């Protein structure tokens, strides 16, 4: 077990340099460079806001701003996109780097960490952009922002745990890489990002809460939309799931580490 952490420490420079490389290459040849990373999720928000604001025209309870829905969407999107990016990319990270893994001896765990690191930087850029848009829309965030790192940590742990576990299985059963993106789309709609959980009938409410991302995304919305602290009650469950997923993933990593290069 301490081996993994020693490996990660020894390869810290490589991990950081790979994250930098990813960003450098994005900036290298497109004139807008990093702006694209932020534009994609914001465009998505704009589309949902345009299409759905008519449906969900009623003001959100507890907030007086005509752009309330757009603000709500952005808060949820910020949390969800971090989860989806880390999860989605960890899934394929071993398969995509198969050639490198077969030729060079280095700790494989570095690869999902690179993905996590670059997704985190992406997400922070998006966060900055969201704050700017909030300012333009006249919505001032509160000091409750200080809670955000906690939510980010839980999101990363959950996404990395699931992504690493399924990413390892994906090496041996490539169907996983095809199925998961579909599941991820369903999952998005089962998470109250686009809609407000209160529109779900009360008797199905507990089903929504079975989804660990619900608690997390609602935490984002509490902080960014309502200026409240996240409901720690709803966070206990995601934290447990994240811890279980992460331990399972590490366990599988130890077991599968030696066999992975054989199957790539």
What is the binding site for another protein (CB under 8 A)? 10-14, 17-18, 21, 24-25, 28-29, 99-106, 169, 172-173, 251-252, 255-256, 258-259, 261-262
Cα separation, 25 vs 9, in Å, equals: 25
Output the smallest distance, CB 36 to another protein, in A: 15
The residue whose two tokens read 């409240």 is 228
Say how many residues make up the chain: 264
Cα separation, 167 vs 113, in Å, equals: 13
- Pick the closer one to another protein by CB: 125 or 252: 252
Cα separation, 5 vs 10, in Å, equals: 9
- Pick the closer one to another protein by CB: 57 or 104: 104
- Pick the closer one to another protein by CB: 24 or 40: 24
Output the smallest distance, CB 50 to another protein, in A: 35
- Pick the closer one to another protein by CB: 64 or 258: 258
Q: Please check whether residue 51 is in contact with residue 121, taking contact to mean a CB–CB distance below 8 angstroms.
A: no
Output the smallest distance, CB 41 to another protein, in A: 24
- Pick the closer one to another protein by CB: 231 or 259: 259
**Dmax over Cα atoms in the chain, in whole Å?**
59
Output the smallest distance, CB 19 to another protein, in A: 11
- Pick the closer one to another protein by CB: 107 or 192: 107
Output the smallest distance, CB 260 to another protein, in A: 10
Output the smallest distance, CB 159 to another protein, in A: 21
Q: Please check whether residue 82 is in contact with residue 156, taking contact to mean a CB–CB distance below 8 angstroms.
A: yes
- Which run of H or E residues covers position 256? helix 232-263
Residues 6 or more apart whose CB falls under 8 angstroms from that of 259 comprise 172
Q: Please check whether residue 250 is in contact with residue 4, taking contact to mean a CB–CB distance below 8 angstroms.
A: yes
3-class DSSP state of 177: helix
């Amino acid at each position: 077990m301490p081996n993994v952490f020693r490996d990660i420490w020894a390869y810290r420079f490589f991990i950081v340099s790979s994250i930098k490389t990813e960003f450098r290459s994005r900036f290298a040849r497109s004139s807008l460079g990093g702006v694209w990373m932020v534009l994609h999720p914001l465009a998505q928000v704009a589309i949902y806001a345009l299409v759905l604001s008519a449906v969900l025209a009623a003001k959100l309870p507890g907030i007086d701003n005509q752009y309330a829905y757009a603000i709500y969407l952005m808060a949820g999107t910020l949390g969800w996109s971090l989860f989806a990016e880390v999860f989605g990319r960890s899934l394929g990270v071993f398969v995509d780097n198969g050639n490198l893994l077969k030729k060079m001896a280095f700790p494989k765990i570095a690869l999902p960490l690179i993905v996590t690191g670059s997704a985190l930087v992406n997400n922070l850029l998006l966060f900055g952009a969201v704050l700017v848009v909030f300012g333009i829309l006249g919505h001032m965030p509160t000091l409750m922002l200080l809670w955000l790192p906690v939510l980010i940590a839980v999101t990363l742990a959950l996404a990395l745990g699931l992504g690493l576990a399924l990413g390892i299985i994906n090496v041996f059963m490539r169907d996983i890489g095809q199925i998961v993106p579909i599941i991820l789309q369903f999952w998005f709609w089962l998470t109250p990002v686009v809609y407000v959980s209160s529109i779900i009938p009360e008797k199905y409410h507990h089903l929504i809460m079975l989804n660990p991302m619900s608690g997390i995304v609602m935490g984002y919305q509490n902080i960014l939309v309502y200026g409240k602290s996240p409901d720690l009650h709803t966070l206990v469950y995601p934290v447990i799931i994240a811890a279980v997923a992460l331990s399972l993933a590490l366990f599988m990593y130890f077991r599968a580490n030696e066999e992975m290069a054989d199957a790539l």
